[in-house]
Structure formats: structure tokens, C-alpha cells
Amino acid sequence: MSEDKALRLALAGKIAAGSPWRGAVEIVPRHEFLRGGYFERINGPGATAWSPVMPEDPPWLARCYDDDSLVTQIAGTIVPADIRGEILRSPTSSSTMPGLVVRMLDDLHVADGHRVLEIGTGTGYSTALLCHLLGDDLVTSVEVDADVASTARTALGRVGFHPHLVTGDGLTGHADGAPYDRTIATCGVTTVPYAWVGRSSAAESRS
Ligand SMILES: C[S@@+](CC[C@H](N)C(=O)[O-])C[C@H]1O[C@@H](n2cnc3c(N)ncnc32)[C@H](O)[C@@H]1O
């Protein structure tokens, strides 16, 4: 068995046996969504610093299968390949910890044939889990950052998934692809945009 397969099975083993997403975690190679590296948090007395870890660095593969969020972009534009040493700015994109992704997906209560709108493609890992369970045609994912969206598209294609990917502000939903049976947001919001329950939702589009 390959090293990444063994790591993936170990990660999936931490997910509740009854979850329909456990099989997806066993199959979807998270490391393919982190080929651009990630930033490791450096704990110290001052402001939080971040240090890049690239695929050629020894801890990279194992860390890709830790149940941990991994930061992939800092300050809106900076990716791991841009940095030597440390950076003190704030994270702006990441691969969310798989256990949390699965809890959110469990809460979505999807069924076969459901059309899903995801807001916040990020690396594309959670998009890939959705594609694995539902099929590419039923998954639409919106990412506001063009560079992040492009990297996710490449990673998804590399592992054989081709969902509907949209570059834009997901706060306005994506009415063109409606109706959706489920909407999931992996980005932070202060209020629930009306578009998510109205224009981009199943209810209004069917009326
Ligand atoms: C935590 S990351 C997504 C994690 C991703 N689901 C994964 O598994 O890798 C959140 C993403 O949401 C994006 N984002 C933030 N605000 C957004 C918005 N209004 N519309 C679409 N995407 C947004 C960010 O650029 C970032 O890439």
C-alpha cells in the first residue's frame, strides 16, 4: 500500500463509522490539494508567525493527512512558494480540518441526486468529497479569489473531478445553477445572505 493511501485510511478511521463521508475521505487524496505547500504556525511570545512547508519538505505528506486545518494563502495573495523564513500576516485561505469538513457535510444531510452549492472552494478538497459522493454534475462551488479558484480547478482536474466551478462572490449565491437542494458555506459570514435562501435556493427558483 502506498504511503499516502495508508495515511488516508488512518485519517478516515477517525471519522464516525456511520458517516457516508468516511468512504470519500478514504479515496480523495488531500495531498493533491496541497501541492502548493502550506504554512505552519510558529508558536512564540509575539504575533503569530507562519512558515512555509513545501512538498519536498519531510513533514509535508504526513501533515496533509493530519486532522488539522492547513493555511494555504496569507494576506490575500501570498502562497508558500513566495516565502523564505517566516511571515507575520493573517491567513486568508486554507484547507479546513477534514474532521470539521465531514461534520459540516454530515449536517448537510445530502441524498443521492441532491444538487449542492458550496461557497468557498478554497483548495477544492471539500468540493472533491462532494463530487465523490454526489457526482460532478450536481456540485457547484464558488470561490472569490481568482488565483485560489484556478489552483483548485487544477487540483480537482488532476484527481478526476470536474464540478461547476465559479469565480466570484458567493455571498450573492449562484442563481445560474439553481435550484439547489443544499447550500454549504466554508467561508466566514456575519449574517446569512438572503441569496442563499432565496435567489440561489431551491424554493424561489422553483416558484
Ligand atoms: C476555509 S477556506 C475553504 C476551505 C475549503 N472548503 C477546503 O476544503 O479546502 C475559505 C475560502 O472561502 C473563500 N471565500 C471567502 N469569502 C468568499 C465569498 N464571499 N465568496 C466565495 N468564496 C469566499 C476564501 O477565499 C477561501 O478560499
Domains of the chain from N-terminus onward: 3-95 (no CATH), 98-206 (3.40.50.150)
Which pLDDT belongs to residue 197?
83
Which pLDDT belongs to residue 200?
54
Residue with the bigger pLDDT between 146 and 45: it is 146
Q: What is the mean pLDDT of residues 181-205?
A: 78
| Residue 46: half-sphere exposure toward Cβ, Cα within 13 Å | 6
> For residue 112, how many other CB atoms are within 10 A of its CB?
9
Of the pLDDT bands very low, low, confident and very high (cuts 50, 70, 90), residue 202 is very low
CA of 1 to the centre of ligand 1 (A): 33
Of the pLDDT bands very low, low, confident and very high (cuts 50, 70, 90), residue 165 is very high
Nearest Cα neighbor of 32 from 122, 152, 143 is: 152
Element (H, E) at 132: helix 125-134
Q: What is the mean pLDDT of residues 77-96?
A: 95
CA of 43 to the centre of ligand 1 (A): 25
Specify the ligand 1 atom closest to the Cα of 142: 21
Of the pLDDT bands very low, low, confident and very high (cuts 50, 70, 90), residue 201 is low
How far is Cα 97 from Cα 74, in angstroms, rounded to an integer? Answer: 17
Out of 68-77, 130-139, 186-195, least confident range: 186-195
Which pLDDT belongs to residue 166?
97
CA of 13 to the centre of ligand 1 (A): 26
Q: CB of 169 closer than 6 A to ligand 1?
A: yes
**Residue type at 57 in one-letter notation:** D
